[in-house]
Structure 1
C-alpha cells in the first residue's frame, strides 16, 4: 500500500508567507502535518544498521536527533518498533511517521495551456520551484498533487520531467496507452525539445555543440559532472542576444538527449553556467573558473570529519557525533569503543557514487553541504532542543498503541492456503451442481481467497489499558502506518470547518526557533526569486503536435536583474 496515495488529505492552509514573517509575499506554503512514510529496504541498505542508513541517506537533522526519533518508537520495520542497531535484510518494510515541513514554493500558478479530451492529454506551464513528483520534503507542493487537488486530474502521466528549479512546458498523457506511446518517442529521440536559458558572460555568436558524457556523483545534492564514465549527452546552443549591462547571454538550447541537468552541466563545462544556478555557478563552490572544462576525476580516498563553523559555540555535546545515549535514569552509560558511522568521519561522501570520487569532487560536495548548512543558520549543528523533551509523539495519536507483530508469511503457508482455497472452491462448485439452478447461496457462504499482501492492514489500534501485561506497558509505542492514516483522517474530518493552526514555536536562549511538534529548527523562507533558475522549456514537437509557452520574463531584452 502506498501511504501517499491512500492517506486522506489533511486539512492544510496555504500560507502566503512563512511562520515568522507574515508580511512576505510571493510564496505558497503548506501548514506542517504528520505523514506516514513506507518503503522497502533498498539494495544499498542491506547489511547496514538502521541508524547508519538513516543518518547517511538524510541530512536535514542531526545524527543525535535521528537516534532520538528511533528510540521514541516512530519507526517500525515489518510492523515492529525498530531499534537503532537493526540490520537491514532483503524484504524489510520500513514505516516511519514524520512531521513534514514542506519547503515554500513560488505563488506562480500552474497553467493549463491545452486539454485534449479526445486524445487524452494536457499541456501545462510548470513554474520553477515545484518538483514534478513528491520527493524528499515535498508532497502537496509537487506538480502531481497540484494537478490532482487543484485541477482534478487524478493520474497524469509525467513522461517527461523538468528539474524542480526549471520552468516551462510539459506534455502529460491522461491514459496509459498514450503515455507508453509518448514515452517511446522521448526514449527514441523523436521529440524535438527547445529551451531558453540566460547564462554568464558573452556566449559565442556561432552555434556550439557540447557532447560531453554526464554522471551523477552525489544523489543527496543532485550533483552531476562531466565524467568519462558518464552517459552520452549532446546539446546544441545558439545565442539569441548578449546583454552587456549585466554580462549575461540569452541562448536557445536544443538537447538531443535527456540526461539529468544536461543543459546546466554542459553550459558550465563551456564556461557559461546559468547565471543564477545555485548548484553550478557559485564561485564559492567552483572557484573563479566556475567549473569550466570540468573537474579532476583521479580517485582519492581522502575524507575528513564534518566540522562546525568556528564561530558556532555548541550548546552541549556535538549533535553530529553519536555520544553515548543516556539511560532511563538520565545517567550516561560507561563509554565504550564503537565503530564510527560514515557520516561522523566524512566517508558518507561518495558512498552512493557509481565511481570513486576525486579529491576535488569531495571538496566540492563538502562546500555544497556547508553552504546549505550556512543558509539554514547552521540549524543542523544547533539541533538540540529535543534533548529536554519527552519522546517524539505525533499529536494525532491520542494514546500510545500496541500491536502484536504480524505473522511472518512463508512460501509454504501461501501454498497451503492456496491449496485449501482451491479445494474449498472445488467442493463449492460440486455442491452448486447438485442444487437447483435457481438456488441462491446463503449469506456468508461465498468462498473467499485471502490475498497475500505484505502491507495488508493490521488489527485495529487499541489504546493501552490497565489490563495490559506489565511488561508491555513499558515498551515503545508501536505506531503503524494504519494508525496514523486512520487518526489523521479523523482529525482532517473534524477540522474541515477551519484549517488547523500552524504549530507553535519554541525559542531557545540563542534565538533559534523550533517547531513544538517535532523540534525541527526553523528558518526564514527563501525569497521567491531564489527558487527558480533561468532555464525554461519553451517548445516541444511530438506526434501529438507542436506546443509552446510564452518566453519567460527574464529572457526579455533590457530585463533588469538585481543580482
Structure 2
C-alpha cells in the first residue's frame, strides 16, 4: 500500500456540551466506540484523554473506556475541538481496492476480512483510514461496525457486523467466552512443554501521545492464553495461541512474560532475536489471526485465513537453516 499523505483540515470548530440518550437497541456498546461514532474526526487519543480525565459521564457517573452502555443511558460529552476533514480527503482508489480484495466472507450479518499487516482496524493516532473507514468508503450503503480489533501489525481474521443484533450478539459471545480465537505466532526459544497456559492479569496504560502499553499486574484484568508448539526451529518455535480473553496486546505481553517474546515485536520483544529473524526475512510482527469460531442462535460460524506468504517464507528459511546446520 502506498504511503498515505495526511488529510488536510479546516480550522477546528468548537463543540458545546452534548447530552445524548442511548437509543433503544444500541445498548452493549463500549463508550469509547460510542464516542468515536459521535465525534467524527476526533483522534482516539483525544477520546481516551477526555475519558481518563473524567469529562465523560454516564448517568452522572464518570465513565471509563471499557464502560458499556445500556439502552436509555444519558451520556454527557464535553466540548472538544473537532478537526473537520475537507471533502477532498478521501481514501485512495488503490487502498479501497486492496481492502475489497481482503474480504473473505459476507452475509446479511457479517463481513469478514483477512486483514493485511500494516492496516489498522480503525483510524486515529496518525492513521487517517483504518479497515473500518476504508470499508465504509468502499461500501457507503452498508452499516458496518467493528466487532473486535486486531493490532495494526497483526494480519488475519477481522469480523465486522452489518446489523446491530449481530454486533451485540457476537460481542456478548466474546465477553462470555463462547467465541474461539486462534492465532499463529513465532516466538523466541522452545516451550518447556508442548502446551503452556498463561494466566496472568494485564493492565493497560496510555502514555502521553496516545501510545498504549500493557504489563502483567495483579491489579489488572483476568487474561488467559494457551501456547501450543507446532514446530521447532533453531532458537525459535512456531506456535498456535488460543485466547480465552481478548485484552490489548495480550499474546505479545504473555509471550514476553514467559520468556518467549514474539518475533518482530518492537514494543515487547527481544532486539537480538528480532535481528536474527530479520536475517531470515521477517519484516514485521509474526502474529496472524488464523481462526475465529462462534455460535449465534442456531447457526455456527467458522472464519479462517491462511498464513500469509511473507510469514510462510520465514518458516521456510528457518527450516533450511535447520537442515544446513
Pairs within 5 Å for 1:276-425: 276-283=264-271
Matched, 1:114 2:122: no
Contact map agreement 1:195 1:253 (CA 8 A) in 2: yes
Instruction: State whether structure 2 residue 33 is matched by structure 1 residue 42.
Output: no
Higher relative strand content: 2
Identify the match of residue 94 of structure 1 among 78, 81, 90.
81
What corresponds to 1:540 in structure 2? 292
Q: CA deviation at 1:44?
A: 4.6
How far apart in 1 are the matches of 2:306 and 2:158?
A: 13
Please, what is the CA RMSD of the aligned residues?
3.2
1:139 is matched with 128
Q: Which residue is equivalent to 1:33? A: 7
Q: Deviations over 1:123-157 (max 9, x none)?
A: 210011111111121123x1012212235564322
The answer to whether the 8 A contact 2:191-2:229 is kept is yes
Instruction: Report how far residue 109 of structure 1 moved.
Output: 3.2
User: What TM-score do you get using the length of structure 2 for normalisation?
Assistant: 0.65
Distance 2:174 2:98 in 1: 26
Aligned to 1:228: 218
Partner deviation per Cα, 1:325-348 (whole Å, 9 max, x = no partner): xxxxxxxxxxxxxxxxxxxxxxxx
Distance 1:213 1:153, change over 3 A: farther
Aligned twin of 1:338 = none
Deviations, residues 521-551 of structure 1 (Å, cap 9, x unaligned): xxxxxxx964x41111101111141111112
Q: Which residue is 2:38 aligned to?
A: none
Q: How does 1:48-67 map to 2 (within 5 A)?
A: none
How many angstroms apart in 2 are the aligned matches of 1:109 and 1:154?
18
Q: What does 1:506-517 align with in structure 2 at a 5 Å threshold?
A: none
After TM superposition, give the deviation of residue 204 of structure 1 in Å.
3.1
Equivalences, count: 241
CA contact (8 A) 2:184 2:287 kept: yes
Aligned counterpart, 2:156: 168
Distance 1:157 1:232 in 2: 26
Per-residue deviation at 1:560?
2.6
Distance 1:46 1:549, change over 3 A: closer
The offset of 1:93, in angstroms, is 3.0
1:253-310 superposed Cα distances (whole Å, 9 cap, x missing partner): 00011111111100000101001101011449xxxxxxxxxxxxxxxxxxxxxxxxxx
Shift in CA distance, 558/182, structure 1 to aligned 2, threshold 3 Å: closer
Task: Return the offset for 1:218.
Answer: 3.4
CA distance 1:266–1:96, change in 2 (3 Å):
same
Q: Return the offset for 1:226.
A: 0.5
SS in 2 for 1:265: helix
SS at match of 1:122: strand
| Superposition map of 1:359-508 within 5 A | none
- The answer (yes or no) to whether the contact 1:202–1:242 under 8 Å persists in 2 is yes
Partner of 1:378 in structure 2? Answer: none
1:159 is displaced (CA, Å) by 0.9
In 1, are the aligned partners of 2:282 and 2:314 still within 8 Å (CA)?
A: no
Cα gap change, 1:557/1:43 in structure 2, threshold over 3 Å: closer, same or farther?
Answer: closer
The Cα of 1:113 is off from its aligned counterpart by 0.8
Contiguous gaps of at least 5 residues in structure 1: 1-26, 48-89, 285-527
Q: Cα deviation per residue 1:50-105 (whole Å; 9 max; x = unaligned)?
A: xxxxxxxxxxxxxxxxxxxxxxxxxxxxxxxxxxxxxxxx8333234799x99xxx
Q: What TM-score, normalized to structure 1?
A: 0.39
Provide runs of 4+ in structure 1 moved above 4 Å.
36-41, 43-47, 96-99, 555-558
Residue 426 of structure 1: aligned partner: none
**Which one has the largest radius of gyration?**
1
Q: For the Cα contact (< 8 Å) 1:194–1:538, is it kept in 2?
A: yes
> Cα distance, 1:32 vs. partner?
3.0
2-structure distance, mates of 1:194, 1:46: 36
Residues 204, 239 of structure 1: 8 Å contact kept? no
Q: Cα deviations across residues 192-218 of structure 1 (Å, max 9, x unaligned)?
A: 111100111223342100001101133
Which of the pair has the greater relative contact order for Cα pairs under 8 Å at 6+ separation?
A: 1
State the SS of the aligned residue for 2:8.
strand
SS of the aligned residue for 1:178 comes to helix
1:46 Cα offset (Å): 7.5
The residue that corresponds to 2:66 in the other structure is: none
